[in-house]
């Protein structure tokens, strides 16, 4: 890898650290290619990505960024899992770490704050962006559906009373 390629990788990593909602750093020593492809597929499905980069280049990209405190996690065979959604990469990484002992979460960064492994687990337990939007929409729509039900209730009560009276007369 020549100097220009290294500069390009550092620039790409810098953009990843700046634009991602969450970055998870993990060891992947001993994982097979199939296992890594499975991790990449799961992450892609959740809207995230997985990147293996040289630790030295990642540390250079971290210099001066708010997440520079995670540079200490970049030792050994590390992989970076990241997503714009502040929860997606943490969820997928946590779930994958439970199913594969070779994938060990070291920590990560969310915005400018560093996360230890327990912090990554805590972020993984938060609801995703889509789940939050759905719950907000449901809470906004609930009063309207209650009003519609209250308005329609007297009419349905009258209809059921008339049906009962008709059945009595027929009998």
What is the extent of the structural domain holding 71? Answer: 3-126
The answer on 99 and 158 residing in a single domain is no
Do residues 103 and 96 touch, judged by C-beta distance below 8 A? yes
The answer on 156 and 119 residing in a single domain is no
Residue 32 is predicted with a pLDDT of 93
**Residue 73: which residues within 8 A CB-CB, separation 6 or more?**
25, 106, 107, 108
- Which helix (H) or strand (E) segment is 97 a member of? helix 88-99
The answer on 35 and 115 residing in a single domain is yes
Three-state DSSP at 23 gives strand
- Nearest-angstrom CA–CA distance, 135 and 13: 34
The answer on 75 and 121 residing in a single domain is yes
Do residues 76 and 27 touch, judged by C-beta distance below 8 A? yes
The answer on 157 and 89 residing in a single domain is no
The answer on 102 and 86 residing in a single domain is yes
Residue 79 is predicted with a pLDDT of 93
Enter the DSSP assignment of 108: E
The answer on 121 and 38 residing in a single domain is yes
**Residue 1: which residues within 8 A CB-CB, separation 6 or more?**
9
- In DSSP terms, which residues pair with 27 in a beta bridge? 78, 104
Q: Which long-range contacts (CB under 8 A, 24 or more apart) does 68-75 make?
A: 69/109, 69/114, 70/23, 70/25, 70/107, 70/108, 70/109, 70/114, 73/25, 73/106, 73/107, 73/108, 74/25
Residue 148 is predicted with a pLDDT of 62
The answer on 148 and 81 residing in a single domain is no
The answer on 16 and 38 residing in a single domain is yes
Tokens 């209809």 found at: 159
Domain total for the chain? 2
The answer on 106 and 34 residing in a single domain is yes
The answer on 139 and 70 residing in a single domain is no
Which CATH number does the domain housing residue 112 bear?
3.30.70.1730
The answer on 114 and 43 residing in a single domain is yes
Residue 40 is predicted with a pLDDT of 94
Question: Which pLDDT tens digits describe the chain residue by residue (171 residues)?
Answer: 788 888 998 889 888 888 888 899 999 999 999 999 999 999 999 889 999 989 999 999 888 777 788 888 999 999 999 988 888 899 999 999 999 999 999 999 887 788 889 988 988 888 777 777 887 887 777 676 666 666 666 666 676 777 887 888 877
């Amino acid at each position: 890898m020549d100097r220009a390629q290294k500069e390009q990788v550092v620039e790409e990593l810098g953009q990843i650290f700046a634009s991602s909602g969450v970055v998870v750093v993990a060891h992947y020593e001993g994982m097979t290619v199939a296992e890594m492809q499975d991790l990449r597929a799961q992450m892609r499905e959740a809207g995230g990505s997985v990147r293996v980069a040289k630790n030295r280049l990642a540390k250079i990209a971290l210099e001066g960024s708010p997440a520079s405190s995670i540079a200490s996690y970049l030792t050994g065979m590390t992989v970076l899992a990241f997503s714009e959604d502040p929860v997606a990469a943490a969820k997928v990484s946590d779930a994958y770490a439970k199913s594969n002992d070779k994938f060990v979460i070291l920590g990560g960064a969310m915005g400018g704050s560093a996360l230890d492994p327990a912090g990554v687990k805590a972020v993984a337990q938060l609801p995703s962006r889509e789940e939050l939007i759905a719950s907000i929409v449901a809470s906004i729509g609930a009063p309207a559906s209650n009003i519609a039900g209250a308005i329609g209730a007297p009419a349905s009560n009258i209809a059921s009373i008339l049906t009962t009276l008709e059945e009595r007369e027929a009998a």
